[in-house]
């Protein structure tokens, strides 16, 4: 049917371009020259048309038409990396923020989001670093024997997703990488990435099933020639409870600079000092 439609379109174009017109005989041409033209004016002759150029232009134009004769739609511009939406946190995805109160994916020291998409989990990560940012899945809040996904900024300016396994305090890269639909960007001295990985995986030591709950380990640090080095903090932050991908939470964890005034002991000392100053010394 498509071929027949194409042939019909081509036939119409040929007829319109004049290729299938009957050429006038020499006698008819002489009569037109010597006598009156088609419009009754002496010596009038129909202007010559460049049939080939007309046909060629119409044929080339038809190449950009669909089978129904309508122009093909123009592809919309592609956003190289869609910004992370924090307005979705706690609603359509879970988020963990580490840093200054009220920070978002572009201002937190560390940011992570997760959401289920079919049989996959989509993760978004961002950190204030020019090297790498990672999340680990742990059963005991301690580093060692953990499945880790990391986004690494290499010397070519690209951000790639890697799979690691913590052996003690050292992260070993694993060739089997469950990540897909990877994308990342390095901008404003931040490494940001997005990827998916399956909920369920074949039983293996270096991979965990994400349908189970895990403590999340958060880390980031510098990289040398696309290889990660030690994280920036001696004791990287850890979620205070196991995270379930079936529960979309919006968790804020104050960074070290803001933890001092939030600790119960510090508040107690402030209250005691204030009472001492108000009462005065005996």
- Gyration radius from the chain CA atoms: 35
Task: Over range 142-156, report the average pLDDT.
Answer: 91
Provide the token pair at 11. 């036939």
Tell me the average pLDDT of the chain: 76
Give the pLDDT of residue 27: 45
Residue 280, pLDDT > 50, answer: yes
The beta strands (E) that lie in the chain are given as 94-99, 110-117, 120-127, 132-138, 147-153, 159-167, 170-173, 180-187, 190-198, 215-221, 223-224, 227-228, 250-254
Does the pLDDT value for residue 12 go beyond 60?
no
Two tokens at 122?
């989509």
CB distance 91 to 109 below 8 Å: no
CATH 2.60.40 for domain 94-258: yes
pTM (two decimals): 0.64
Please give the C-alpha separations between residue 182 and each of 27, 78, 151, 193, 226, in angstroms, as whole numbers. Answer: 75, 15, 10, 8, 16
Q: Stretch 17-31: mean pLDDT, rounded? A: 46
Q: How far apart are CA 64 and CA 69, in angstroms?
A: 9
pLDDT at 11: 58
CA neighbours within 13 Å on the CB side: how many for 17? 17
> pLDDT tens digits, residue range 91-140?
999 999 999 999 999 999 999 999 999 999 999 999 999 999 999 999 99
The DSSP element (H or E) to which 276 belongs, if any, is helix 264-279
Q: Which of 21-25, 184-188, 203-207 has the lowest mean pLDDT?
A: 21-25
The lowest-confidence range among 10-19, 180-189, 264-273 is 10-19
List the single range of 52-56, 138-142, 152-156, 165-169 with lowest mean pLDDT: 52-56
Nearest Cα to Cα of residue 192 among 122, 134, 252, 120: 134
Q: What are the tens digits of pLDDT across the range 208-240?
A: 999 999 999 999 999 887 677 776 666 789 999
Enumerate the domain spans of the chain: 94-258
Instruction: Please tell me the predicted confidence (pLDDT) of residue 257.
Output: 75
Instruction: Note whether 138 and 217 are within 8 A (CB).
Output: yes
Pick the range with the lowest mean pLDDT from 21-35, 213-227, 252-266: 21-35
What digits encode the pLDDT tens for the residues 158-182? Answer: 999 999 998 877 889 998 899 999 9
Higher pLDDT, 126 or 46: 126
Residue 103, classed as helix, strand or coil, is coil
Q: Give the Cα-Cα-Cα angle 193, 95, 195 (nearest 5 degrees).
A: 25
Percent of the chain with pLDDT over 90: 48
Q: 178 by DSSP, 3-state: which?
A: coil
CA distances from residue 258 to 100, 218, 222, 265 in whole angstroms, order as listed: 7, 17, 23, 14
Going by DSSP bridges, is the β-strand pair 132-138/215-221 parallel, antiparallel, or unpaired? antiparallel
Instruction: Give the pLDDT of residue 121.
Output: 97
Q: What is the mean pLDDT of residues 239-265?
A: 83
User: How many C-beta atoms lie closer than 10 Å to residue 153's C-beta?
Assistant: 25
- pLDDT of 270 reads 56
The CA-based dihedral angle spanning residues 214, 103, 77, 130, taken in that order and rounded to the nearest 10 degrees: -80
pLDDT at position 192 is 97
pLDDT digits (tens, 9 = 90+) for 61-80: 444 444 445 444 454 444 57
Cβ(237)–Cβ(98) under 8 Å? yes
What confidence score (pLDDT) does residue 223 get?
83
């Amino acid at each position: 049917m498509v071929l027949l439609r194409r042939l019909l379109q081509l036939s119409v174009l040929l007829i319109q371009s004049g290729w299938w017109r009957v050429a006038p005989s020499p006698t008819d041409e002489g009569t037109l020259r010597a006598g009156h033209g088609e419009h009754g004016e002496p010596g009038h002759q129909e202007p010559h048309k460049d049939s080939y150029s007309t046909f060629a232009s119409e044929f080339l134009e038809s190449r950009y038409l669909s089978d129904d004769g309508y122009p093909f739609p123009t592809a919309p511009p592609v956003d190289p990396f869609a910004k992370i939406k924090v307005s979705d946190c706690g609603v359509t995805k879970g988020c963990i923020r580490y840093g200054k109160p009220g920070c978002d994916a572009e201002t937190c020291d560390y940011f992570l989001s997760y959401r289920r998409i079919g049989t996959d989990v989509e993760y978004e990560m961002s950190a204030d670093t020019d090297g790498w940012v990672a999340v680990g899945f742990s059963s005991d809040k301690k580093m060692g024997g953990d499945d880790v996904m990391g986004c690494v900024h290499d010397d070519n300016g690209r951000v790639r997703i890697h799979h690691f396994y913590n052996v003690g305090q050292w992260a070993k890269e694993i060739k089997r990488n469950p990540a897909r639909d990877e994308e990342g960007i390095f901008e404003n001295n931040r490494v940001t990435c997005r990827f998916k990985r399956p909920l369920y995986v074949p039983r293996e030591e270096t991979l965990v099933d994400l349908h189970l709950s895990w403590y999340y380990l958060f880390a980031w640090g510098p990289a040398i020639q696309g290889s990660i080095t030690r994280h920036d903090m001696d004791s990287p932050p850890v979620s205070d409870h196991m995270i379930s991908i079936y529960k979309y939470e919006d968790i804020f964890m104050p960074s070290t600079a803001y933890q001092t005034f939030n600790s119960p002991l510090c508040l107690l000392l402030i209250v005691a000092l204030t009472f001492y100053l108000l009462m005065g010394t005996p």
